[in-house]
């Protein structure tokens, strides 16, 4: 079945640095790749998503890139701030399929 691997499991950066989280997926039919942010004790919330007809998408300080050939997608956060500290989840799904989440990355931004 579909599998999504996410790395690293923890990431610590200094405020102002960039952070990159990487995911790979197994099902080549996957065509939707969202990223969710979950702050401590809160619900997961969608921060950005990308579909397979697009290679890159940006929204202010966050961007996602997709390499369909390698079945790989990444989240990039620039100019990190303490409020970016959270657990980030990648996910993948195909039409008619279920959304499979990666294992999560705990990002810590140190002031």
One DSSP character per residue, the chain reads ---EEEE-SEEEEETTS-EEEEEEES-TT--EEEEEEE-TTS--EEEEEEETT-SEEEETTEEEEEETTTTEEEEEE-S--GGG-EEEEEEEB-TTS--EE---EEEEEE-
> Given the complex with other proteins, which of 62 and 87 has the nearer CB atom?
87
> Given the complex with other proteins, which of 36 and 73 has the nearer CB atom?
36
Q: How far is the CB of 16 from other proteins (least distance, A)?
A: 26
Q: How far is the CB of 64 from other proteins (least distance, A)?
A: 14
Residues that bind other proteins (CB under 8 A): 31-32, 34, 36, 38, 42-46, 49, 87, 89, 93-99, 101, 103-104, 106
> Given the complex with other proteins, which of 34 and 80 has the nearer CB atom?
34
Q: How far is the CB of 92 from other proteins (least distance, A)?
A: 10
């Amino acid at each position: 079945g579909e599998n999504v691997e996410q790395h690293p499991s923890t990431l610590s950066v200094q405020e102002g640095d960039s952070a990159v989280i990487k995911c790979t997926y197994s099902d080549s039919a996957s065509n939707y790749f969202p990223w969710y942010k979950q702050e401590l004790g809160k619900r997961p919330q969608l921060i950005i998503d990308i579909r397979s007809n697009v290679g890159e998408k940006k929204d202010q300080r966050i961007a996602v890139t997709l390499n369909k050939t390698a079945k790989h997608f990444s989240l990039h956060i620039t100019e990190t701030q303490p409020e970016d500290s959270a657990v980030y989840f990648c996910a993948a799904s195909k039409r008619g399929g279920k959304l499979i989440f990666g294992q999560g990355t705990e990002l810590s931004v140190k002031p």
